[in-house]
Amino acid sequence: MHHNKAVEIKNLHYKYPDGTMALDDINITIEHGESVALLGPNGAGKSTLILHLNGILRGNGEIKVFGLPVNKHTLKEIRRRVGLVFQDPDDQLFCPTVFEDVAFGPINMGLTKEEISTRVNKALASVELEGFGKRSAYHLSFGQKKRVAIATVLSMEPDMLVLDEPTSNLDPRGRGKIIKILNSLPVTKVVVTHNLNEAAKLCKKAIIMDKGRIVADEDIEKVLSNRPMLEAHGLISS
């Protein structure tokens, strides 16, 4: 691998259709294999930023993912290499069965039938849901749906996982399971979360956003021990 940067973003700006500045001069670099927590209050621009990582949104500025500039020609490759997991699994599971949902990406990649079913089984196994292929999403518990949603991108064998609140709204056992699964996956990870404990369990680095800007980008221990900064950006309360 001659390229060891997973993400390079330079001077990224993004305005909502109504004119509000959602991303204001974003500059970040994420190394290959790193796990990064993306922290910040509601409305800080975290979700907007992650939608730029696979070209769903396109702002002004320079974005390179695994060395590839995000544009029309690289979109397909980038979307294969970046697996985006949405907060509400009901948005991600749109097929009649779990199998079809997990197979959706690989089918679009044009893989052979054998490869597809190998990948689906492997992805379901890594989220501890072997044998769930025939079920339909509405028969699953919320925690199971969250795990299937992760499997739907794992089956594309991405090099980077981007997860929006992967543990929100789960009971402690469900949260523990997701954390264990994510920590067992050896890929670059970007995790959006409100939960500092979970950020610490999942990530080595933390990026803090507030009002569309990056306000901190360093080791998570440093970030978590900087109480005044956490307070200033509403991550803990005084």
Partner 1 sequence: MKHFFIDKYSEIKSPINDLNARAKVIIFFALILLCATTPPNAFLAFGGYYLILSGILLVSKVPLGFVLKRTVVAAPFVLMVTLFIPFMEGGGGSYNLWGLTLHRSGLIVLFNVSVKAFFGVAALTLLTSATPFNELMDGLKQMGVPKIFITTASFMYRYIFVVVNEAMRMKRARDSRNFEGKWIWQTRTIGHMIATLFLRSYERGERIYSAMLSRGYDGEVKSLGKHPIVFKDVVFITLIISLAALLRFSHALTKLISGS
Partner 2 sequence: MLIKLKNVNFTYMSNTPLAQRALENVSLSISAGEFVGLIGPTGSGKSTLVQHLNGLLEPLEGEVLIEGKKIGGEISPLLVRQKIGLVFQFPESQLFEETVFKDIAFGLRNLGYPDDEIEGRVRKALAMVGLDYFEFKDRSPFTLSGGEMRRVAIAGVLAMNPSCLVLDEPTSGLDSIGTREIISHLERLNREEGLTIILISHDMDEVAHLASRVIVMNEGKIEFDDSPRRVFSQKSDLLKIGLDIPQFTSLLFMLKEGGLDVPLALFELNEVKNAIVSALERRFS
Q: Which of partner 2, partner 1, none does residue 45 bind (CB under 5 to 8 Å by kind)?
A: none
Contacts of 187 (CB under 8 A, 6+ apart): 33, 158, 159, 160, 161
74 is an interface residue for partner 1 by CB under 8 A: no
To partner 1, the closest distance from the beta carbon of 118 in angstroms equals 13
> What is the pattern of x (binds partner 1, CB under 8 A) and - over residues 137-176?
xx-------------xx--x--------------------
Closest by Cα among 55, 32, 142 to 93: 142
DSSP state of 141: -
Residue type present at position 105: G
Cα(168)–Cα(193) distance, rounded to whole angstroms?
A: 8
- β-strand partners of 29: 8
> What is the pattern of x (binds partner 2, CB under 8 A) and - over residues 97-136?
----------------------------------------
Cα(150)–Cα(161) distance, rounded to whole angstroms?
A: 9
Phi, psi (deg, nearest 5) at residue 122: -65, -45
The span of 26-34, 135-143, 167-175, 197-205 binding partner 1 (CB under 8 A) equals 135-143
192 is an interface residue for partner 2 by CB under 8 A: no
29 is an interface residue for partner 2 by CB under 8 A: no
43 is an interface residue for partner 2 by CB under 8 A: yes
Q: Which of 30, 38, 45, 54 binds partner 1 (CB under 8 A)?
A: 54
Q: What would the two tokens of residue 237 be?
A: 């309360």
Q: Which of 22, 28, 103, 190 binds partner 1 (CB under 8 A)?
A: 103
User: β-strand 205-210 against 213-219: which pairing, if any?
Assistant: antiparallel
Q: What would the two tokens of residue 12 be?
A: 């990224």
171 is an interface residue for partner 2 by CB under 8 A: yes
Note the residues at the interface with partner 2 (CB under 8 A): 40-43, 141-143, 165, 168-176, 194, 197, 234-237
